[in-house]
Structure 1
Amino acid sequence: MSVIRIVRSAALLSAAALALSACGSDSAITPAGGSTPSSSSESTLAGTLSGSGASSQDSAMQAWIAGFTAVNPDTAVQYSPDGSGAGRKALLAGGVQFAGSDAHLKDEEVEASIEACGPDGALHIPAYISPIAIAFNLDGVDELNLDAETIAGIFRGEISTWNDPAIAGQNEGAQLPDTPITVIHRSDESGTTENFTEYLAAAAPAVWSTEASGEWPADLDGQENAQGTSGVVSAAGATDGAITYADASAVEGMGTVAVKVGAEYVPYSSEAAAKAVEASTPVTGEGRPDGDMAMDLVRDTTESGAYPVVLVSYHIYCTTYPDSETVDLVKAFGSYVVSEEGQAAAADAAGNAELSQPLREKAEAALAGISVAK
Structure 2
Amino acid sequence: MNWFPGRLSVVGLTGSALVLTSCGAMADADEGAEAQSAQASETPAHEGWNFEGGDGVLDFGEVQGRLNGGGSSSQQRAMDHWLEIFAQTSSAEVTYSPVGSGDGRAGLLTGEYAFAGTDAVLDPNEVEQSQERCGPQGAFHLPTYVSPIAVAVNLEEVDELNLSPEVLADIFSGGIASWDDPRIAEHNEEDLPSTDITVIHRSDTSGTTENFTEYLEEAAYNWEWSSSGDWPADLTAEFGSGTTGVLEELARHDGGITYADAGQVGENALRASLAVGGDYTDPSAEAAAEALAASERSDGGPGNDMGFVLSRDTESSDAYPLVQVSYTVWCNQYDSEEEAQLAAAFATYLVSAEAQNAAADVAGSSPLSADLREEALDSIDRISW
Aligned to 2:9: none
3-state SS of paired residue (2:66) = strand
For 2:61 and 2:136, how far apart are their aligned partners in 1? 32
Q: Return the match for 2:350 from 316, 326, 337.
A: 337
Cα displacement string for residues 51-90 of structure 1 (whole angstroms, at most 9, x for unaligned residues): 0000000011011111211111x11110000000000000
Corresponding residue number in structure 1 for 2:242? 228
Q: What is the CA-CA distance between 1:38 and the residue it aligns to?
A: 10
Q: Does 1:309 pair with 2:322?
A: yes
Helix, strand or coil at the partner of 1:321: coil
Q: Relative contact order (alpha carbons < 8 A, sep ≥ 6): 1 or 2 greater?
A: 1
Task: Tell me if the contact between 1:270 and 1:353 (Cα under 8 Å) persists in the aligned partners.
Answer: yes
Once the two structures are TM-superposed, the CA of residue 25 in structure 1 deviates from its matched residue by 5.7
User: Using the alignment, how far apart are the partners of 1:364 and 1:38 within structure 2?
Assistant: 19
| C-alpha distance in structure 1 between counterparts of 2:223 and 2:46, whole Å | 54
Output the aligned Cα RMSD: 2.3
In structure 2, C-alpha distance between the alignment counterparts of 1:38 and 1:246, rounded to whole Å: 34
Q: Deviation digits for residues 145-177 of structure 1, max 9, x if unmatched? A: 1111001110111011000001111112x2311
Q: Distance in 1 between matches of 2:345 and 2:60?
A: 15
Which of residues 60, 64, 69 in structure 2 aligns to 1:46?
64
1:211 maps to what in 2?
Answer: 226
Give the aligned partner of residue 142 of structure 1. 159
Structure 2 residues without counterparts, runs of 5 or longer: 1-11, 27-42
Choose the corresponding residue for 1:171, options 152, 167, 188: 188
Cα distance in structure 2, aligned partners of 1:19 and 1:283: 35
Distance 2:299 2:47 in 1: 36
Query: Distance between the aligned counterparts of 1:336 and 1:324, measured in 2?
Result: 18
Corresponding pairs, count: 355
Distance of aligned partners of 1:215 and 1:36 in 2 relative to their CA distance in 1, 3 Å threshold: same
Q: 2: distance between equivalents of 1:93 and 1:11?
A: 35
Specify the alignment match of 2:133 in structure 1.
Answer: 116
Residue of structure 2 equivalent to 1:318: 331
User: Structure 1: how far apart are the matches of 2:47 and 2:354?
Assistant: 24
Give the Cα separation in 2 of the matches to 1:39 and 1:324: 25
Residues of 2 paired with 1:356 and 1:39: CA distance? 20
Unaligned runs of 5+ in 1: 1-8
Does residue 187 (structure 1) correspond to residue 203 (structure 2)? The answer is yes
Q: Distance in 1 between matches of 2:58 and 2:246?
A: 40
Matches within 5 A, 1:74-85: 74-85=91-102
CA distance in 1 between partners of 2:377 and 2:13 (Å) = 18
Residue of structure 2 equivalent to 1:4: none
Task: Say yes or no: does 1:197 pair with 2:213.
Answer: yes
In 2, are the aligned partners of 1:135 and 1:256 still within 8 Å (CA)?
yes
Structure 2 counterpart SS, 1:49:
strand
Give the Å deviation of 1:37. Answer: 8.3
Find the partner of 1:99 among 96, 106, 116. Answer: 116
Moved more, 352-361 or 36-45: 36-45
Tell me the amino acid that sits aligned with residue 179 of structure 2: W
1:254-273 matched pairs, under 5 angstroms: 254-273=269-288
The match for 2:263 among 238, 242, 249 is: 249
| Cα distance in 2 between the residues matched to 1:42 and 1:251 | 33
Name which of 286, 301, 305 aligns with 1:292: 305
User: Superposition pairs for residues 4-43 of structure 1, below 5 Å?
Assistant: 12=15, 15-16=17-18, 18=20, 24=44, 36=54, 43=61
Q: Check whether the contact 2:171–2:177 (CA below 8 A) recurs between aligned residues.
A: yes
Change (3 A) 1:318 1:165: same
Distance 1:262 1:27, change over 3 A: closer
Shift of 1:47: 0.6
Tell me: CA distance 1:311–1:347, structure 2 relative to 1, closer, same or farther (3 Å). same
CA contact (8 A) 2:77 2:264 kept: no
1:367 aligns with 2:385: no
Q: CA 1:210–1:37 in structure 2 vs 1: closer, same or farther (change >3 Å)?
A: same
Instruction: Give 1:41 deviation, angstroms.
Output: 8.6
Query: Aligned equivalents of 2:110 and 2:255: distance in 1?
Result: 41
What are the superposed Cα offsets for residues 217-241 of structure 1, whole Å, 9 maximum, x if unpaired? 00012x1001000110111011111
Per the normalisation by structure 1, the TM-score is: 0.90
CA contact (8 A) 2:131 2:139 kept: yes
Give the superposition deviation at 1:264. 0.5
- Shift >3 Å, 4+ stretches: 9-13, 16-30, 34-42
- Distance change >3 Å, CA 194–CA 17, structure 1 → 2: farther
Aligned-residue identity in percent: 47
Say whether 1:152 aligns with 2:169: yes
Displacement after TM superposition at 1:12 (Å): 3.2
Report how far residue 142 of structure 1 moved: 2.7
Structure 2 CA distance for partners of 1:10 and 1:140, relative to 1, 3 Å:
same
Structure 1 residues 365 and 152 mapped into 2: Cα distance closer, same or farther (>3 Å)? Answer: same
